[in-house]
Every structure is written in C-alpha cells, then in structure tokens.
Amino acid sequence: MSILRLSFSITLAVAALLANDLQAQQSTLGRSVRRSEQAARANWQPTRTKIRQTQIAVPQNERRATTRTIEQVQVEGLPSPPPESAFSIISPSQAEPLDGQITLAPIYEGEIACDQLPGDCGCDDSGCVGCDTIGCDGGCGASCCGEFCGGNAWRPCLTLCMPQDGWASFEFLGWWQDGMQLPPLVTTSVGSGVARLEAGVLGLPATRILAGGDAYHEDALDGGRFRFGLWLDSCHTWGVGAEYFSLSSTSDLFVASSQGNPIDGQILARPFYDVTLGIEASSLIAFTDLTSGTVTVETDSKLQGGGFRFRNLRKTDEGCTNWFLCGCPEHFCSRTEVAFGYRYLQLEEGLRVTENSIAAGSLATATGTFDIYDSFRTRNQFNGFDFGYITRRTRGFWSLETGIRLAVGITHQTVNIAGQSTNVDTTGGGPSTTTTYTGGMLALSSNIGSYTQDEFAVVPELDLKIGYQMTEQFKLTLGYTGIYWSNVVRPGDQIDLDINQNLIPPPTVVSGSHPSFAFDTTDYWVQGLNFGCEYRW
C-alpha cells in the first residue's frame, strides 16, 4: 500500500513539472511575438505605388459546390473563433473611411489620378466632365478624342444612301483683304483763275485727287465656307474631306459730274505723264467755257477657293491636368493629324473708268460728244499641293483646334486690257458724224490685249477654332483664319500713266511704246473671323 502511494506521488510531481514547463514556453513565445509585432509597427511607413489607371474586372466569388465541416477544437488557454454570423463583409464601393484610416491615392504619371480626387474636382464628376463623355464611345481610346465614333467603317454606296461615318460644317465668314492699290485716276483743282494747262495736273499745289491714289476694298467682306468628309475606318485614323469657300463680290463706285461753268466751278481731269513733252499733263473732262461731263470709276473684287485633303491620325494623348480657368485637375485628350491633298484659289478683280463729256464753249475748237472707257481686268488661279497639321485638344465640352497649312504650286495669271472711244462730231451744225476708235486714254493700242503667264507661288494658312459641344454630334465653333498668297496680279498695278498723247483717239501716229504693259506682281492676304457649326455622324 505504501508503494502504491509513493508511485502516485511521483506521478503527480512529474505532471506538475511538465505543466510548469509548458506554461513557461507559451509565455516566452508570446513575449517574442509581441516584441516582433512592436518592431514591425515602429518600422512601418506608408508607400505609394506608381500605377496607371486601369480598370480590372474582378470576378464575383462563387460558392463551392461541396463544403467540408471543420471541427472546432477547444484548447485550454486559446480563444475560440467567433461564429460566422459575427462577420459582416462590406463592398469597397460602399465603404466609408473609418476613424483614423489613411486612404492613399495612386500616382498617375507624376500627377494625382483624376478618379481619386474627393468631392466634385475629379475628371469623372458631373461638375468637371472629361472628354470621354463626348464621342469616346467607339472603343478606340484617345483616337476618338472629340470625335463621334459610331463603330461604322466606310463602305461603297451602290444606291442612294447617306455616308455612314463623317462630318460636315458650315461657317459664316467676316474677313478683310489686302486693299487694291490704284494710281491717281481723277483730279480737280481748287481756287480761281486756274490755267487750262495746269488744271488737274499732278504735283501742283492746287491739284486734289478725287479718285485713285489709295487702297480700295479694305472693308469687311462676308462669305461662307462649307467643309465635309468621310472617315475610312471606325477609329477615325484615315479620312478624306473637301472644302469650298467664297467671299461676296465687293464693288466700289465713284461718280463726279461738272457743268464746267463759273457757277459750280469744279474742274474734272484725268492726269497722266506726257512722254512726248516730258511733263505732267491732264485730259480735261469739265472746264469753264470748254467742256462739261461725268466720270465714273468702278472697281470689283471676288475671292473663292476649295480643295480636298486626306487626313491621317499621327498622335493621341490623354491625361489629367490643371487648367487656367479651373483649379481642379480634369481629364483632357488630344489628337494630331497630318493632312495632304490639292488646293485651288481664284482671285478676280477689275477696274473700269468711263468718261462722258460734251465739248461746247468759247474755248472749244470743235463741238460734239465723247464717250470713252478704259478697262483693266485680272484673274489669278492657283493650283498646288497642300500639306499641313491639325491638332485638337478637348476638355469637357470645350475644344481648341489649330490648323497649319502650306500649299505650293503655280498661279496662272491673266490680264485683259481694253479701251474704246466713240466721238459724235456736231461741228458746223450739219449732220453729225459718229466715229469709233480702239483705245480710250489709259488703254491704247500700245498696251491693249490679253496677257497670261504662270508664276510659282506659296499659300500658307493658319486656322484657330474654339468649339463647344452642344450634343454628342453637334458643335458650335468660333475661329480665325489667315491666308497669304504670293505672286498675284491686280488691276491697279497694270496701269501705266506714261502716255504718248499722239496715240489718244483720234490718233495722229500709228504706233508708240507708251503706255506699255509688263506683268507687275505683288502679294495678297486675307484674314478674319469665322462663326459656324459642325455636325458629326
């Protein structure tokens, strides 16, 4: 019996020793884990990872077809896990930041990603709409920036039908052009007692210029420009378009009449340089006791042009940035295209001087009427290769488009000079005699004719346009256009005031060298504002 008690006591002692050893090991392990956790927390630093904004589809968790029950084992000294009903999983899109929680926004190429901005300052918020809400629905990325990508590619139309994917725009033009320079064409003399040989002569103190000697057609011109085209692929990387514009024909009219008597006292004359005498002179239209009459100066000008171009997308870009009108970073996109094709321009201008005078007075050696006209008309036709760049940057409903073009080609120049004089002689009171001569006063036998030549020319153009998207397909535009054209002929530059008066009808010589003709070219520009609309489908 004593042996049994001794054995039981030894067994209890060994068990107690083993239990104490186990508790000591658990205590040491717990302290080590706590020290490691404290060190990790002390050394933890928040980090940001450079990522690109990419939407990743996250698959929904599926329930497994079969489950296996895991028995919960209760071990003395270890807490048991809570039941499943105690857990609540909240969707990340619905979760609100907890107290003390730090939310880190990803970095987008060195700037804050737009969709991570709080409040109404993000690219996708209703207050700051990005370009992806306008026309970026074709699945083509930034190539559809500011475009209406419907996903349809061009195909030939065998019957009457609407082109599937294209654009059309119309603009009202309010432009100004380089004025037409004219030499002095009609003069007068002020004061009394002006001698006949000094009336209206250039260079004298009493002479005043009534018509010419200045630039004409410098006022605003109205017109229209129509552009249309088709995209050849659904992502709008290749397209072909055409355009036509026309400015309204502008004209200027000067009319002066005088009875040539002391009552109205106005002298009318047409100045020139007499090469036979080597002096300034004039042809009188109205002068006291000599002649009375009317003179008319008419000028006109008209510009139009057109062409077609192929367009190729070369570069796209999109991102998020601050704009000077808005402090919030917002989404933008841009596309750059190369355009090349054919360009045509035509400038037609004219000058006509008409003189109707009656010779009757004490100083007149013959009586009768004189009807004279001189006509100078020019036409410039440019045909050339057109090359340029088009860049459009879109932010929300606003867009800014810049176009730079350079056309290189040939200008076909035409100058037509004509003149005629009709004299009805009533001297002596007998039957009148009507005689018609070729030539007026500035257009005589020495320069009358039709002349043509071809000259190399360049036509650069700058286009700036601001657009506001009213709907996905309709946009209002306001812009500026400037065009320069080298080597053109204009009527006033083809007039030679050096005249051999012996050639003035009725001529006293058969031929002469003045007035002469030689092509006198100059440059030309036109610029102005445009307002219109654009429709895409």
What does the DSSP 8-state code read for residue 111?
Answer: E
For Cα atoms 84, 89, 95, give the angle at the middle one, nearest 5 degrees: 155
Which stretches of 324-427 are assigned E, i.e. beta strand? 326-359, 368-395, 398-425
Report which of 144, 147, 142 is spatially closest to residue 317, judged by C-alpha positions: 142
Q: How many residues does the chain have?
A: 537
Integer Cα distance of 175 and 479 in angstroms: 11
| Pair 53, 115: CB distance under 8 Å | yes
The C-alpha atoms of residue 321 and residue 508 are separated, in whole angstroms, by 81
Q: Taking 80 as the threshold, does the pLDDT of residue 522 lie above it?
A: yes
Q: Residue 384 has what DSSP assignment? A: E
Neighbours of 363 (CB within 10 A): 13
Structure confidence by residue, pLDDT tens digits, 277-308: 999 999 999 998 888 899 999 999 999 999 99
pLDDT per position as a tens digit, 133-176: 343 444 566 667 767 776 555 555 544 555 578 899 999 999 99
Taking the domains of the chain in order of start, what are their residue ranges? 166-536
Nearest to 242 by CA among 341, 312, 143, 347: 341
pLDDT at residue 10, as a whole number? 62
pLDDT of amino acid 31: 56
pLDDT score recorded for residue 385 = 97
pLDDT at 48 exceeding the cut of 60 = no
pLDDT score for 151: 56
Kind of pairing between the strands at 268-274 and 498-499: parallel
pLDDT attached to residue 187: 94
Torsion angle of the four alpha carbons 9, 11, 12, 17, in this order, in degrees rounded to the nearest 10: 130
- Higher-pLDDT residue of 483 and 82 is 483
Q: What angle do CA 198, 200, 201 make, to 5 degrees?
A: 60
- pLDDT tens for residues 372-398? 999 999 999 999 999 999 999 988 889
Shortest CA distance to 250 belongs to which of 144, 350, 339, 147? 350
In angstroms, the CA 339 to CA 388 distance is: 5
pLDDT at 37: 60
Backbone region of residue 107 per phi and psi (left: phi > 0; alpha: psi in -120 to 50; beta: other values): beta
Sign for the pseudo-dihedral over CA of 36, 41, 44, 48? positive
Q: Do 504 and 444 meet the contact criterion of CB atoms below 8 Å apart?
A: yes
State pLDDT tens for residues 95-141. 555 555 554 444 444 344 444 444 444 544 443 443 333 434 445 66
Residue 273 has pLDDT above 90, yes or no: yes
Is the pLDDT at 63 greater than 80? The verdict is: no
Closest by alpha carbon to 514, among 256, 278, 292, 232?
A: 278
End-to-end CA separation in angstroms for the chain: 109
- Beta-strand ranges (E) seen in 25-164 are 107-108, 111-112
For residue 310, what pLDDT band results from cuts at 50, 70 and 90?
very high
Residue with tokens 């020019």: 378
Three-state DSSP state, 444:
coil
Residue 34 pLDDT greater than 80, yes or no: no
CA distance 46 to 37: 17
Query: pLDDT-derived band of residue 243, with 50, 70 and 90 as boundaries?
Result: very high
pLDDT at site 330? 74
Q: Quote the pTM value.
A: 0.72
Q: What is the structure's pLDDT at 317?
A: 87
